[in-house]
A and B are shown apart, each in its own frame.
Chain A
Amino acid sequence: MSSTSLYHQSDTRIQTELQIIEKSKINPQHFAPLYDQYYESIFRYVIKRINDSDLACDITSNVFVKAITNLSKYEFRGLPFSSWLFRIAKSEVYQSFRDQKAKRTVSIDKVTIVQVFEELEVDALDEHKEKLKIALRRINENDLALIEMRYFEKRSYREIGEILSVTENNAKVKTFRALQKLKVLFKE
């Protein structure tokens, strides 16, 4: 399943979400359809970064608790509710690293790795996998987060911008710079 399959939605769907959100502000039980809809994508976002299914389950649960508790602060900006949930998920995942409950993990599947090697302009050889591992361990966290979302999870720049609270264009520029840094580290 693509991480972004729930991001691009019709206006009707977005309006339906808004109605659910308004009802959930009064009674949290109305939030159930959004919980069911987004649970899997939030869980996958979390587990790719912490590689512990029990902890990922706890963190995902906390993401929804925080979302419901802070629903009154949610502002509709023409984008799906999922971007707000991903922002909470990002914050919860980093909190788990600060609390030393989890170790930072980067998960790359076999299809993605070929595309990453294309971006790095090298062949998909085993020795290059090792070099990529080293480069991904050395790159700073902000750049890693951008590379992860764009190249490993195939998110749009618009969604990346929403999750990181920057403009779409800024997300594009930052991701390009992050890739350049990865290329330098890869070639060292």
Chain B
Amino acid sequence: MRKILFNKKELSSDQIKSMRDFDLVLKKVKAQRDYWSSPWFYGTVGLASILSFLMFI
């Protein structure tokens, strides 16, 4: 069930600014790019494709 809140105390702009962490964002972006371009990823996908093909023939 949805929670309905009236007059909830909002965080200040300074509190929100203190939560910013652009370095963490860059790390996550790098980790994602490394994953998609890793030999492990292509190796797993390639092996799965070959096995699927062999199962059909």
Known: A64-B25, A65-B25. A39 touches B20 (CB 8 A): yes
Is A177 close to B, CB under 8 A? no
- The number of residues on chain A lying at the interface, defined by a beta carbon within 8 Å of a beta carbon of chain B, is 37
A57 touches B19 (CB 8 A): yes
Interface residues of A in 100-118 (CB under 8 A from B): 103-110, 113
Q: Which secondary structure characterizes the binding site on chain B?
A: mixed
CB atoms of B29 and A68 under 8 A apart: yes
Cα-based distance from A107 to B3 in the complex (angstroms): 8
Decide yes or no: A129 and B6 within 8 Å by CB, A47-B11, A65-B28 being known contacts. Answer: yes
Closest to B5 in A: A107
Q: Which residues of A contact B54 (CB under 8 A)?
A: none
Complex Cα–Cα for A35 and B28 (A): 14
Report chain B residues within 8 Å CB of A96. none
Chain A hits for B4, CB < 8 A? 105-106, 108, 132-133, 136-137
Q: Give chain A residues whose Cβ lies under 8 Å from the Cβ of B5.
A: 51, 105-108
A69 CB within 8 Å of chain B: yes
Residue B56 CB within 8 A of the other chain: no
Chain B residues contacting A180 (CB-CB under 8 Å) are: none
Is residue A32 contacting chain B, with contact meaning CB distance below 8 A?
A: yes
- Of the candidates A40, A105, A113, the one whose C-beta lies within 8 Å of that of B3 is A105
Contact in complex: A136, B29 (CB < 8 Å): no
Quick check: B29 and A43 within 8 Å, CB to CB? no
Q: How far is the CA of A133 from the CA of B32 in the complex (A)?
A: 41
Q: Is the CB of A104 within 8 A of B13?
A: no
* Interfacial residues, chain A to chain B (CB-CB below 8 A): 1, 28-29, 31-32, 35-36, 39-40, 43-44, 47, 51, 53, 57, 60-62, 64-65, 68-69, 103-110, 113, 129, 132-133, 136-137, 144
Question: Which 9 pairs across A and B sit closest by C-beta, in order of nearness?
Answer: A65-B28, A133-B4, A105-B3, A104-B2, A64-B25, A107-B5, A110-B7, A40-B16, A68-B29
